[in-house]
């Protein structure tokens, strides 16, 4: 595919992503100045590539148009917040839910409701009202973003599991899946211990 599926909306998409990321980064700076501790360890973000979005449209039986990419599919903008501790995930969730011009469309807590393969993460689909024309012709427009929030341990597990899923020549998938699940549960136990140690240290200060 040579055409950009986002067409004339790409500049708006980039501006919306930059605005959301700047607000989350400002929150981190604020928390650091207030408590001496960051709200999260790092932040990554991207606009889903035009090819991946076109493939997702095909997979969902949608026409490969800007309207499908920006109105029906809601993860053109993807943001991932990686935290040190599990409690920090919920602090970030609270901050994001209170952001001006933001409406929650969907929330999935894969930390309390772990996926059978061991995947853990907090997911939100949000709708932001921003001063740009959207794919339905409204201005101010509505733009969707998917935010994933997880610990460093959950993040490293997810990237390993993702790598395995997309490698088609992997042998012994049963053993690998079982080991990955065991590893996810061990990492989750470590996340609980790390949180407990942190709480103990903080209560002594």
We find the least distance from the C-beta atom of residue 115 to ligand 0O2, in angstroms, to be: 5
Contacts to ligand 0O2 from residues 66-125, by CB under 6 A? 75, 78, 108, 115, 117, 119, 123
Q: Is 31 in the site for ligand 0O2 (CB under 6 A)?
A: no
Stretch that binds ligand 0O2, among 7-15, 86-94, 155-163, 194-202 (CB under 6 A): 155-163
Buried b (16+ CB within 10 A) or exposed e, 82-118: bbbbbebbebbbebbeeeeebeeeeeebbbeebeeeb
Q: Is 181 in the site for ligand 0O2 (CB under 6 A)?
A: no
Q: Is 162 in the site for ligand 0O2 (CB under 6 A)?
A: yes
Q: Is 158 in the site for ligand 0O2 (CB under 6 A)?
A: yes
We find the least distance from the C-beta atom of residue 46 to ligand 0O2, in angstroms, to be: 9
Q: Is 10 in the site for ligand 0O2 (CB under 6 A)?
A: no
Q: Which residues are at the interface with ligand 0O2 (CB under 6 A)? A: 75, 78, 108, 115, 117, 119, 123, 158, 161-162
């Amino acid at each position: 595919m040579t055409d950009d599926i986002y067409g004339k909306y790409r500049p708006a998409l980039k501006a919306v992503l930059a605005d959301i990321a700047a607000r989350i980064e400002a929150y981190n700076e604020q928390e650091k100045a207030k408590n001496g501790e960051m709200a999260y360890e790092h932040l990554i973000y991207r606009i889903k590539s035009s090819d991946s979005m076109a493939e997702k449209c095909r997979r969902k039986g949608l026409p490969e148009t800007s309207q499908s990419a920006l109105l029906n599919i809601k993860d053109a903008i993807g943001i991932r917040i990686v935290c040190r501790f599990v409690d920090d995930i919920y602090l970030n969730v609270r901050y994001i839910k209170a952001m001006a011009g933001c409406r929650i469309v969907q929330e999935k807590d894969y930390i309390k409701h772990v996926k059978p393969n061991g995947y853990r993460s907090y997911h939100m689909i949000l709708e932001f009202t921003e001063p740009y024309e959207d794919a339905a012709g409204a201005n101010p427009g509505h733009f969707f973003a998917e935010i994933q929030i997880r610990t460093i341990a959950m993040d490293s597990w997810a990237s390993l599991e993702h790598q395995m899923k997309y490698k088609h020549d992997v042998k012994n998938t049963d053993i690998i899946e079982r080991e990955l699940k065991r590893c996810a549960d061990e990492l989750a136990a470590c996340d609980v211990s790390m949180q407990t140690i942190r709480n103990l240290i903080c209560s002594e200060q």
